[in-house]
Amino acid sequence: YNFPHFSVGETGREGIPKRREIGHGRLARRGVQAMLPDSERFPYVIRVVSEITESNGSSSMASVCGASLALMDAGVPLKAPVAGIAMGLVKEGERFAVLSDILGDEDHLGDMDFKVAGSKDGITALQMDIKIEGITPDIMEQALKQAHAGRIHILDAMNKVLPESRTEINAHAPNYAVIEINPDKIRDVIGKGGAMIRQLTEETGAVIDIDDGGTIRIFGENKAATKA
């Protein structure tokens, strides 16, 4: 999560990530992380970078939406799409109003910044900043209710573009395959003194890993190398 000065119309020196960037990045990561596949299904290191080019609202929740779409477009098999929304609050005495998808001024002048991320079925991350002593159960209930409605609205818009993860990663990206064989055949694949597996590795450029149970994992520089 990168938040350059120009995104809010300011200038300044760019350097190491600031506390705000680290915190927002961790929040966005938590929002998406629950939907990531396990390493057995998708044995890749995943890195997502969210570059904020303009900000007048919750850029961390926009990062959740953008990360979800980017991962699905890249072929990462997410369990479900994820979206996020920031809720605000204006409170005067016993009266209150919960605001959905707050702007910068509503965040600055309001009493609460409550970020909610999740799928259509549940919440994956929460973060609340308040400027008052506390909130009542009624305020929390109303905020979560509006956040759910807003999240569903955003997910509907996202799903019109990309409703689910692509079935395959890019043909030029590092690729892998898993093959199950009879454990008795492992010695045939390895060959005498490792000659067979060494030959396969040299010819294809792929990395081949075999466990004692007969599971062969093949990692290639691209799809063609893995198929070979």
> pLDDT digits over 35-56, tens only?
999 988 888 899 999 999 999 9
Which run of H or of E encompasses 22? helix 19-33
| Model pLDDT, residue 228 | 67
CA pair distance 209, 197, nearest whole angstrom: 9
The residues near 204 (Cβ < 8 Å, ≥ 6 apart) are 220, 225, 226, 228
Contact by Cβ (8 Å): 218, 208: yes
According to CATH, what is the number of the domain 175-227?
3.30.1370.10
**Does the domain at residues 5-161 carry the CATH identifier 3.30.230.70?**
yes
What percentage of the chain has pLDDT greater than the value 70? 100
Q: Is the pTM of this model over 0.75?
A: yes
Segments of the chain scoring below 50 in pLDDT: none
- All CATH 3.30.230.70 domain ranges in the chain, comma separated: 5-161
- All CATH 3.30.1370.10 domain ranges in the chain, comma separated: 175-227
| Model pLDDT, residue 223 | 81
| Model pLDDT, residue 66 | 97
